[in-house]
Amino acid sequence: MSKIKVMSVFGTRPEAVKMAPLVLKLGQCPQIESLCCVTAQHREMLDTVLDIFHVKPDFDLDIMEEGQTLSSITTKTLGGLTGVFAQASPDLILVHGDTSTTFAAALAAFYAKIKVGHVEAGLRTFDKYSPYPEEMNRRLTGDIADLHFCPTLQNSENLRRENITDGIFITGNTVIDAMGYTVRPDYPFDLHALGDVDFDRSRVILLTAHRRENYGQPLENIFSAVRGIVERFDDVEVVYPVHPSPAVFNGAHAALGGVPRIHLIAPLPVDAMHNLISRCHLVMTDSGGLQEEAPAMGKPVLVLRRETERPEAVRAGTARLAGVERADIFEMACTLLDSQEEYAKMAHAVNPYGDGQACSRIAQAVLSHFSLGPAPDMFLPKY
């Protein structure tokens, strides 16, 4: 074949952050025709990432609507991609992670008999309702995919236990590659919301909390713990980019609005978020991506969930599973703020998620699959 036609399909901001550097890398390969299709499952949040990385989609389904449901996202993606695939005839599509766009795109490709590569494959909690719906999205995508680009050895072992043994590559996580584009020591925070944050004199905690399974009492527990931390340590400030979901937004403002040294701000562009991680003292999150991004910059992570599909950071020592009970969260945070030794143990742990070469490995794996080059080396850090 002359050129392999590879189409990257994604729809949300987290997917875009991790797929944009891969789109750019594929575009640099003379043997690959790189195409990009977005579903716009998230619209504005997606577009900011595309602008930062200067990625212009070849196809845009623009499916986002007010009050959209998991079913509407899936059906509109499935229908829209049917036409896109018929028009573009890709040899391979690449999907990322665990969103409804991911599963629907993989299913549409299966119906069209197009090969599927799954970026960030093999993550598991083994509880199909946690995280919901992400756990089942990634499991179902794994069953469809022909190529599995696993960030870690653990991810590949998860797939093998499910009798998925072919087409597995251990690449590291593309989010580490993305941070090579976004993090700068001279990054100017020109956002009004961060103007009052004293990065020089305060220990800044970056907080994110938005998971569906944390709605209700778990979020209330998290907010109560955070408020208690700020009241105990007068040199601590909290920056919380609040998710626009009403369940999160309303709860956050009711519990934390107006509390001194707690900054409730709008979601940040990816470059501002990455640079905020690099300058903060500690990360508290129920996000998946932050569990990978913060270790790359030596920032301890407290995971505000009962379980995580990213256990490598816990084993490596750069993250701790804090759960969703107020007392546990408060105690773990206080330990890191009180003890320089405990903080240093986490801050200096090995990052298990990547070395900035994941996109190159994925591109090489694609070429290898089509007999256009050797297989890539594996990412196997020691910790």
- The catalytic site residues sit at 98, 120, 134, 210, 212, 243
Q: How far is CA 245 from CA 273, 347, 374, in A?
A: 19, 32, 46
SS3 182: helix
User: Which amino acid does the sequence have at 24?
Assistant: L
Q: Is 187 exposed, middle or buried (0-12, 13-18, 19+ CB in 10 A)?
A: middle
Nearest to 6 by CA among 91, 74, 80: 91
Our measurement of the distance from residue 134's CA atom to the centroid of its chain's CA atoms, rounded to an integer in Å, reads 12
Nearest to 20 by CA among 61, 42, 51, 65: 51
Q: How far is CA 300 from CA 204, 215, 331, 333, 370, in A?
A: 12, 24, 15, 10, 41
Angle between helix axes 217-232 and 326-338 (nearest 10 degrees) is 30
Token code pair at residue 89: 């005839």
Nearest to 57 by CA among 90, 17, 20, 103: 20
Q: CB within 8 A of 113, min separation 6: which ones?
A: none
Dihedral-angle region of residue 216 (phi above 0 means left; psi in -120 to 50 means alpha; beta otherwise): left
Our measurement of the distance from residue 350's CA atom to the centroid of its chain's CA atoms, rounded to an integer in Å, reads 19
